[in-house]
Every structure is written in C-alpha cells, then in structure tokens.
C-alpha cells in the first residue's frame, strides 16, 4: 500500500483553529489528514471533513491509539469511539502512538488488537509511531511481514535517523516524517536559507522537499492558509545532489520530542 506523500498534521491544534486548518487544507487540495486520540481534536477534525464536501473515498485519515487504550479490552472500543468523533465508518490508517515500554501492556497484545481492528474493517491499514529498530522488529513478528504500513517518526534536517530509516526501507515500511521543521528551528538555518534562495523557495519548502526526495511522507501543520499553500509547493521543488549533500551535513541528533516513559531507547 502507499501512504500519501503529503498530508496535513493537526498536533497542538484545537477547537475552531483545527477546524479552519483542516478546512483550508482540503480546500487547497490536501487529501491526507493526521490526528490522534491524545490531540483532543478528533471531533473537530471530523466536523471539518464532514463539512468539506470531499468524498470519503478521496480522503486518507490517520489516527493514533493513546497509551491508556493499549490493552485488549480497550483498544478496539477506543478506536470505535474515535470513528464516531471523526464521523466515519473506518480510518485509513491507525497507529500505535508510542511504544511506552513498561506501561503494563505487552507489545504483542496491543499489536494483536490493532490487527483485529483491521480484520474488523475499522481501519484499512495499521502501523506504528516512534518505534526504534528492535521494537519495529517485534511489531513485525507480532502481526506479520507486510502488515505494518508505516513508522511515523520525528525527522528533520537536524535529526536524520539514518539507521532507522534504512531499516524501514529494507522492511518495505514507509517512513512518515513528523516535526520536519523541528518546531520551526530549521527555518533560521543559514545553509537551508542559502539553498532556498538558490531555488527561489522558502526554507520550509526546502526542508519538506528534502524529506520527500528521501522517500518519506510528510505531515506539516499550519494555522495559516498561506503557509498551508506554500508548504504544498515543496512537491514541485527539486533539490540537486549538492543541496542534498549539504543538508546531510546538518545532522546533529536534534531531537525535539522524547517523553519519558513513552519513548524507546533510540538507535
């Protein structure tokens, strides 16, 4: 299966802000929307989707199961609740949000429940988020080769995660990049600014084009319609080998998101 290469994220967006962001994104041509149970905005995302007039089969909707719902007793009911909020009979992709080692639910249990959700038609595809190599291996063993559609991980020019992304490619698992702009930190980068000037592009477009050219899917968010439109233009930006080599040198293990108790030991 193919994860859409370009979607809109909704992390940290609430209430009317997220409704407007998703509505604008769909109006501009986005068709993939990423949310999560913990974001507290599934109902508002669902409202925006329902009011957009875009046919359901033209959309690709992703949500993520929160750690409180990993047990066999809770995972499927929690996903059914998400579907009600999203006003849909199914989502296209459901992810385990964090591996949360030691939270009392074994990986085999929550991956097994996720596979059951797929078998019941609640989700078209299943995947993981924030899993390292070893935990990805365990997830593959739990549900079978070819079943995991993506691993959604933090990736930016400052955190390039080469070992993990190479492993995912070997396994035929799509990499989805979140935090591609590193909370906006890369927007001030001098090297990226030079590359942007060379191409008459924005720095955000350069960072997103970098990820796209490496074969990753991206899900940038914005509350501003003009930024949503500008981000989409990254699909048309072709960086050359020199640009890509210069960006490769920006790696500095610049991780922005690493919650204690939820994150694994990173590769």
Judged on CB neighbours under 10 Å (0-12, 13-18, 19+), 4 is buried
Q: Which of 30, 39, 70, 216 is catalytic?
A: 39
Task: With beta carbons less than 8 A apart as the criterion, state whether 250 and 118 touch.
Answer: no
Q: Which residue has the tokens 């290469």?
A: 5
Buried b (16+ CB within 10 A) or exposed e, 120-140: eebbebbbbbbbbbebbebbb
Catalytic annotation present for 39? yes
Which 3 state secondary structure label does DSSP give 129? strand
Residues contacting residue 24 through CB under 8 Å, at least 6 positions apart: 225, 228
Taking alpha carbons only, the member of 221, 187, 220 closest to residue 13 is 221
Map 208-230 to HEC letters: HHHHHHCCCEECCCCCCHHHHHH
For residues 267 and 163, is the Cβ–Cβ distance under 8 A?
A: yes
As annotated, the active-site residues are 39
């Amino acid at each position: 299966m193919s994860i859409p290469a370009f979607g809109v994220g909704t992390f940290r967006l609430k209430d009317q802000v997220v409704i407007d962001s998703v509505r604008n994104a769909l109006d501009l041509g986005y068709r993939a929307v990423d949310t999560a149970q913990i974001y507290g905005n599934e109902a508002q995302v669902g409202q925006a989707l329902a009011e957009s007039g875009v046919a359901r089969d033209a959309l690709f909707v992703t949500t993520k199961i929160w750690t409180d719902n990993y047990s066999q007793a809770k995972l499927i009911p929690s996903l059914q609740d998400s579907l009600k909020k999203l006003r849909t009979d199914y989502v296209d992709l459901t992810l385990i949000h964090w591996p949360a080692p030691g939270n009392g639910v074994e990986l085999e249990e929550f991956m097994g429940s996720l596979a059951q959700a797929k078998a019941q038609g609640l989700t078209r595809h299943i995947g993981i988020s924030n899993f390292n190599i070893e935990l990805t291996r365990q997830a593959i063993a739990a549900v079978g080769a070819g079943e995991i559609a993506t691993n959604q991980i933090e990736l930016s020019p400052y955190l390039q995660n080469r070992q993990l992304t190479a492993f995912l490619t070997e396994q035929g698992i799509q990499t989805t990049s979140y935090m591609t702009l590193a909370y906006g930190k890369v927007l001030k980068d001098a090297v990226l600014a030079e590359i942007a000037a060379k191409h008459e592009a924005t720095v955000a477009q350069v960072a997103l084009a970098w990820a796209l050219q490496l074969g990753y899917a991206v899900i940038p968010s914005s509350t501003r319609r003009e930024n949503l439109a500008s981000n989409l233009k990254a699909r048309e930006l072709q960086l050359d080998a020199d640009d890509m080599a210069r960006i490769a040198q920006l790696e500095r293990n610049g991780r922005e998101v690493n919650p204690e108790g939820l994150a694994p030991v990173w590769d």
